[in-house]
Copies of this chain bind each other. A is one copy, B any other.
Amino acid sequence: MDKRLHDRKFVRTFFTTPTAEQGDDDSAKKLRGAIGLRGMQAPDVWVPDNEDATAPNMRDEGARNIAEVVAEGGAEFPGEIHPRVVWHRDSPETRYKGFQHMLEIADPENGAVENIDGFVIPEVGDLDDWKKADEFITIVENEHGLEEGSLAMSVIIESGTAELAMGDLREEMGKASNNLQRLFLLVDGEVDYTKDMRAITPTGALPEWKELRHNTSRAASAAGLIAVDGPFDNIRDVEGYHDRITANNAMGMLGIWSLTPGQVVEANKAPLPPADGYWTIDADGRTVELTEADGVQVYSGDRVELEEVDGGYELEVGADEQFLESEEELAGALLDVLDYVPSMDDIVDSMEEFEAAKEAGRGAIAITQAATVRIDDVEVDVSSDRMWDEATYQAMQTPITLFQDVYHNRPDQHDDLAELYSEDVVERAIQVGN
């Protein structure tokens, strides 16, 4: 059963589904729907949610439903399966209930355990509380003849206490008296965290909790785990969800909770490099994408103005005016506000170029991006150099390593990837850097 343990080095998506709902003929209807997801709609980690998403009086039935549905369809499901059970640092009753549900779900007689990759434990407190959950999972493994440590454990960080606990993980994980090496995901749960921190916002919107996300990402880095952000409630707001993922990725938090298959698609794609590179301009504090027309990068907003005048150029960004005496000076000023977002193809190119240079004994090379930019009918040629050394190479490799992890573990997404990037780019991207 070793295969279970941390096959995935990256998890983009954490998708929850209620385990039992009243009022339908089949209380497991949503589970049956979710386990049928494939391709970009299927998450990296699927979480039959026997906690908050399921009514308290339906959770015993929910545990049985999980076992039944995973027994039927788990082998074909393309992602990992980690049910969430009930748990609370302040309630022994809840903890015992969670233990019973794990015993039920993992019972080999129910036929599901081969495709259960682990459990998600919510509402954990300090590390002593995490160890109680770990111990119950050890007992479940022992009772059911599973290898010790074969079931992964993921936790939801939804208290200040749990946030602090993450700082000690690395030290505790190796100790002989626990099996915390089974830890897999550190998932932020901002709604309950907000309650625990007693935070108040005028509109009731969730605070940003940037420090929590940093600390979660850092703990994942220090303990070899994977950081996942909590749910984004406003399902309608696709752009907001995308922005949140971009902000998370810049902290090393590459996974996020998804509440709908639509969010799963968005979150599966967002951390991957774009199929086509593009230029952006910092238009007085707002990043605006340039549009390409006949090979020229065009800015057509009002926040940046450019005019050819006697003896030079006048460039106005917001309320800041500059006079530039030559096209060269103008190109320099524009480079301060322009940026290039490289495509998958660009990144692979640069990596290959650097590898060849290293082979030839050079430690650093300049990667050049050139473009013709048009603002208010003035066209300028710009060209920006970025130095790549070993450290740059390795830092830029992260999206490629993520892509390779996805390619390796999610054959069901090969078609989508080939359609997105072309077969050729995919082929080179899975080779580069190995």
Shortest distance between the CB of A413 and any CB in chain B (Å): 18
User: Which residues of B are found within 8 Å of A148, using beta-carbon distances?
Assistant: none
A249 and B199 in contact, given A167-B167, A170-B161 (Cβ under 8 angstroms): yes
By CB atoms of chain B within 10 A, which of A55, A274, A319 has the most? A319
Contact check: which of B22, B286, B361, B398 meets A195 at CB < 8 Å? B398
User: Which residues of B are found within 8 Å of A399, using beta-carbon distances?
Assistant: 200
Q: Name A167's closest neighbour in chain B (CB-CB).
A: B164
Inter-chain contact B195/A394, CB cutoff 8 Å: yes
User: Which residues of B are found within 8 Å of A163, using beta-carbon distances?
Assistant: 218, 222
Inter-chain contact A221/B250, CB cutoff 8 Å: no
A160 and B207 in contact, given A271-B200, A391-B195 (Cβ under 8 angstroms): no
Q: Copies per complex?
A: 3
A293 within 8 A of B: no
Shortest distance between the CB of A297 and any CB in chain B (Å): 15
By CB atoms of chain B within 10 A, which of A126, A203, A283, A318 has the most? A203
> How far is B303's CA from A217's CA once the two chains are assembled, in angstroms?
38
Inter-chain contact A301/B319, CB cutoff 8 Å: yes
Of A66-74, A91-99, A307-315, A333-341, the one with at least 4 CB within 8 A of chain B: A333-341
Other A-B contacts than A194-B252, A202-B246, 15 sampled, CB-CB below 8 A, are A126-B170, A159-B221, A160-B218, A160-B220, A160-B221, A191-B395, A192-B395, A199-B250, A200-B271, A201-B249, A204-B395, A204-B396, A210-B211, A211-B211, A301-B319
